[in-house]
Amino acid sequence: MIRPTAYADISALISLAEATGLFEPTQLKELSTMLANYFDGDKSGAFWLIDDDQGPVGVAYCEPERMTDRTWNLQLIAIHPSRQGQGRGTALLRHVEQTLAARGGRMLIVETLGSPEFKRVRVFYANCGYQEEGRIRDFYAAGYDKVTFRKVLRA
């Protein structure tokens, strides 16, 4: 079941992100701050969704891209490692796309790392119909490129 995130989900979502092994401790702290700010009223059109299987097993966070015409940025999508490979990530991403299309969203972009440990993430986006649009070499650090994908949304 995919549903909006509730305040009570915060600690479970931080644990979920940590379990993926893709987030550094500073990123987990930033994620915690983002969640707290969201529930303190700083929503600005953004939304959080979770895949709830008697507790959060997946999360997605999306926000409008400033100074664009209905472009959105998927800032986070993660599925607990024990639940990966079951179609949950695809279902959660499709739900995000449908939510945005219903809101009049025109395009969804996703940024990820170009390093080897993120290859499965890049393959996931390509399999979901996203096209690689750009790469900035050494963006995050030496050897850690930023790769941008995009998908045009249909109403």
Query: How many angstroms separate the most distant Cα atoms in the chain?
Result: 41
Residue 93: the pLDDT is 96
Report pTM. Answer: 0.89
Share above pLDDT 70 across residues of the chain, in percent, rounded to a whole number: 99
- Whole-angstrom distance, CA of residue 106 vs CA of residue 84: 28
The set of residues, in sequence order, having a beta carbon less than 8 Å from that of 79 and lying 6+ positions away, is 20, 51, 57, 58, 88, 89, 92
Instruction: Give the CATH number of domain 2-152.
Output: 3.40.630.30
Q: Where are the domains of the chain?
A: 2-152
Residue 95 in contact with residue 148, Cβ under 8 Å? no
User: In this predicted model, what pLDDT tens digit does every residue of 57-81 receive, in sequence order?
Assistant: 999 999 999 999 999 999 999 999 9
